[in-house]
Structure 1
Amino acid sequence: MKFHPSLVSGRVDSPLGPVVIAVTDQGLAGVWFDGQKHLPDMTDWAVDDAHPMIVRAGQQLTRYFNGEAATFDMPLDLSGGTGFQQAVWQALLAIPRGATTSYGAISANIGNPAAVRAVGAAVGRNPVSVIVPCHRVLGSDGSLTGYAGGLDRKIALLQLEGVLL
């Protein structure tokens, strides 16, 4: 992933642990749980917990975790990913709350049905956890599969959204 040099980050608390939020002038570029796989090196990022877009994202996440909001209303900056990754992340955005899909279905939806493993890799590298709902992707048999934030968090997010496991 290549992140924009003007990226600004901040931290907020969530019921599933601390979250790092990253933004650019174009929009929300990252949401990661502490300890999440594929966590980028943030040493050179500016830190501003009071940045208006970080505050807005934190408020929307709080409403989501409290069950008060089903969707997010934030511009996204997914430009750090490859064209393929961006196509996968856009497909994730189409999965409605309370629904799940499979890696194979996403592969078919983006017009590349043979790319199931590559889709899995792109889902795992999703930089905007929760908001770009990679937690809604299950194995072809409906089984829980990996989640960069940890399976316990994936289960909690799906249960919050009313998905019966």
Structure 2
Amino acid sequence: MRLVVESPIGPLGVELDGETVVGVRFAASGPVSASDLPIARELAGYFGGTLTDFTVPVELRGGSEFERAVWGQIATVPYGTMRTYGEVAKALGDPGAARAVGTACNRNPVPVLIPCHRVVGAGGKMVGFGGGLPRKRLLLELEARVTLAQMWEMS
């Protein structure tokens, strides 16, 4: 099943196998799906600043062994934080593979849910993103705002 979910970064095409998310695409076309499926609710919560961890089932299909390892590693990057491509490569045991990490991030089949937007260039440089740098910036800014608001509420 495919649905189109409206978001602040444009319509997202979501591909489902039952209720399991198997794909997310930016700039989807077609009518926005009115859906009460868990993924639609969770995306609304994420973009509304009330959800920081997705719980919908995700199945990663395709990808090389290395790409799947990268996707697994970036899935562990906490909400509101960033890692560099080099840090991800080092965590995978191959410190020289920063560019390959970038390529794997670009091939992430479920962006936003597997947060490749949280992976940045050395020194926090805003480089590379399959959805385009403006979308990456908006996602990072959203998470930064929510993280700060949560910190202020706790103090």
Normalised by the length of structure 2, the TM-score is 0.84
**Counterpart of 2:126?**
144
Task: Verify: 1:19 aligned to 2:1, yes or no.
Answer: no
Three-state SS of the structure 1 residue aligned to 2:124 is: coil
Q: Tell me if structure 1 keeps the 8 A contact 2:102–2:128.
A: no
Matches within 5 A, 1:1-165: 8-25=1-18, 27-34=20-27, 55-162=37-144
How far, CA to CA, are the matches of 1:152 and 1:50 in structure 2?
A: 26
Greater helix fraction, Structure 1 or Structure 2: 2
Q: Distance in 1 between matches of 2:41 and 2:115?
A: 17
1:127 is paired with a residue whose SS is: coil
Q: Secondary structure at the match of 2:13?
A: strand
**Unaligned 5+ residue runs, structure 2?**
148-155
Change (3 A) 1:83 1:51: farther
Q: How many residues align?
A: 142
- Taking only aligned residues, the RMSD between alpha carbons, in angstroms, comes to 2.0
Q: CA deviation at 1:50?
A: 7.3
Q: Secondary structure at the match of 1:29?
A: strand
Q: Which protein, 1 or 2, shows the higher relative CO under an 8 Å CA cutoff with sep ≥ 6?
A: 1
Instruction: In structure 1, list runs of 5 or more residues that go unmatched.
Output: 1-7, 36-48
Q: Deviations over 1:6-51 (max 9, x none)?
A: xx3221111211110012258211111116xxxxxxxxxxxxx578
CA deviations 1:60-113 (Å, max 9, x no partner) are 010000001111001211122221111100111110011100011101111222
Tell me the TM-score normalised to structure 1 length: 0.79
Contact 1:100 1:138 in 2 (8 A): yes
CA contact (8 A) 2:61 2:109 kept: no
CA distance in 2, matches of 1:81, 1:50: 31
Contact 1:100-1:136 within 8 A present in 2 as well: yes
The answer to whether the 8 Å contact 1:26/1:77 transfers is no
Q: Is the 8 A contact 2:20 2:56 kept in 1?
A: yes
What amino acid does structure 1 have at the position aligned with 2:99? R
Percent of counterpart pairs with the same letter?
A: 39
- Shift in CA distance, 26/12, structure 1 to aligned 2, threshold 3 Å: closer
